[in-house]
């Protein structure tokens, strides 16, 4: 992958994070109405409605945090600051967000069984990001050692 391809890929990723940010805003607005319509369509009572709305809003908020961390990480990549403590901390935030999403969707699984699959996927993604974070942290350590070698 040459420099221009990497730059293009980073720009595409940044654009995606912006699109996701806008989508999350639309989702936040649509949650109450969509939840009401879904419950009515399924013939389910409204007793779970409050819990569903709260969990979806928490999930949306966590997704916002993850999206912002992702955008800031891409900004650091564009600036050439890849192997730094900042990148490690942003990957930690991303991993934590995935685990938080898993908790939200695991809680929803008592109402919608399919959300357990989403919870599992979120845990898996969180685990992958944890490993990537550990790899980058080690790379930062090696880079600092090399930078300090005269």
Partner 1 sequence: MINVNLDVMMAKRKMSLGELSSRVDITAANLSILKNNKAKAVRLSTLNAICKALDCSVADILEYVEDKEDGQ
Binding site for partner 1 (CB under 8 A): 144-145, 147-150
Q: Which is nearer to partner 1, 2 or 149 (CB)?
A: 149
Helix residue ranges per DSSP H, 43-84: 49-78
Q: What DSSP string runs through 108-122?
A: HTTT-TTHHHHHHHH
Measured CA distances, 107 to 50, 90, 95, 146 (Å):
13, 26, 19, 46
Residue nearer to partner 1 on the CB measure, 113 or 150? 150
Q: In whole angstroms, give the CA distance from residue 113 to residue 94.
A: 25
- 71 within 8 A of 93, measured Cβ to Cβ: no
Provide, rounded to whole angstroms, the least separation between the CB of residue 141 and partner 1.
Answer: 11
Q: Rounded to the nearest whole angstrom, what is the least distance from the CB of residue 78 to partner 1 in the complex?
A: 25
CB of residue 148 vs partner 1: minimum separation in angstroms? 3
Closest to partner 1 by CB, 35 vs 84, is 84
Q: Considering the complex, what minimum distance in angstroms separates the CB of residue 31 from partner 1?
A: 52
């Amino acid at each position: 992958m040459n420099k221009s391809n990497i730059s293009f890929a980073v720009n595409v990723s940044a654009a995606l994070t912006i699109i996701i940010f806008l989508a999350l805003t639309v989702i936040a607005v649509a949650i109450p109405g969509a939840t009401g319509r879904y419950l009515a369509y399924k013939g389910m009572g409204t007793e779970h409605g409050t819990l569903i709305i709260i969990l979806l809003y928490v999930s949306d908020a966590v997704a916002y945090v993850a999206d912002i961390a992702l955008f800031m990480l891409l900004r650091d990549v564009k600036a050439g600051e890849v192997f730094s403590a900042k990148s490690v901390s942003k990957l930690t935030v991303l991993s934590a967000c995935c685990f938080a999403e898993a908790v939200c969707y695991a809680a929803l699984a008592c109402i919608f069984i399919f959300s357990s699959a989403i919870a599992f996927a979120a845990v898996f993604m969180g685990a992958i990001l944890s490993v990537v974070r550990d790899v980058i942290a080690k790379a930062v350590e090696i880079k600092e050692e090399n930078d300090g070698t005269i």
